[in-house]
A = this chain, B = another copy of it.
Amino acid sequence: MTTSDNAPAQDAGKPASNGDAKPKAPAKDPWDLPDVSGLVVGVLGGTGDQGRGLAYRLARAGQKVIVGSRSADRARTAAEEIGSGVEGADNAHCARRSDIVIVAVPWEGHEALLTALREDLSGKLVVDCVNPLGFDKKGAYALTPAEGSAAEQAAALLPDSRVVAAFHHLSAVLLQDPDVEQIDTDVMVLGESRADTDVVQALAGRIPGMRGVYSGRLRNAHQVESLVANLISANRRYKAHAGLRLTDV
């Protein structure tokens, strides 16, 4: 035991008040987010359930969306099925034509895909929404990438891209259901640069019901990615499609 019984509650780490401190410039309003309506969004893995659902929701909100796949034909077929003006292209063209590129591939293919697309993703804002999970008879459990998280692996593999982690806790079932008008959830957005996390928060906010909430640096991405294992457990118990809201924010 330490000399104090003081448990590290979530309030920990706040700067102590200091009567001698100089007054700071007023902090920027955290809800003052940029207009992203003109940006092109690519979705790698856009033919899978998660990617398809995100592409559909963003396009339905008015965003220009390109879904990527290894096969341009498969991507174009998926794009036609999604509708709302979505286009399809092979992954490299999808990356090159987009301002923001969402990575929605299975964890098993994450490293190989990003290694292959390093040049195509150069200069892009890359949004990693991959959840490294394993499954066995007891359900889902977290896998721990050597880099700490899928997002940190992306940052290591893509030194010329800006990497943000977001969109981990969405139900592909709800995303793809055209009768669902609102996606009632917050999107935890993590990254190293405020300009980049602001853009991704704004993008999340384009989808009715969704709100992008800044939730820390990439070194804290692992727990956000693997929390999906807990949501799967809750979904089974409650026969739900659980999302997350941050209260008091």
Interfacial residues, chain A to chain B (CB-CB below 8 A): 1-2, 4-14, 30, 45-51, 53, 69-70, 74, 104-109, 112-113, 129-131, 133, 135, 138-142, 169-174, 184-185, 188, 190, 213-217, 219-220, 222-224, 226-238, 240-249
Contacts and interface: CB of A to CB of B under 8 A. Distances in A.
**Secondary structure type dominating chain A contacts:** mixed
18 contacts: A1-B70, A1-B112, A2-B106, A5-B48, A5-B51, A8-B228, A9-B53, A10-B232, A10-B241, A13-B139, A142-B220, A190-B230, A213-B238, A216-B229, A224-B230, A241-B248, A242-B249, A245-B246
Q: How many copies does the complex hold?
A: 2
A69 B3 CA distance: 11
Contacts of A171: 9-11, 248
B5 A69 contact: yes
A159 to B, nearest CB: 20
Contacts of A12: 133, 135, 140, 232
Contacts of A240: 246, 248-249
Contact of A11 (B107, B217, B241): B241
Given A13-B139, A135-B12, A220 B229 contact: yes
Given A5-B45, A5-B70, A9-B172, 7 more contacts: A8-B50, A10-B235, A11-B235, A215-B233, A220-B230, A223-B224, A244-B247
B242 A246 contact: yes
Given A7-B49, A172-B9, A235-B10, A185 B247 contact: yes
A234 B220 contact: no
A234 B246 contact: yes
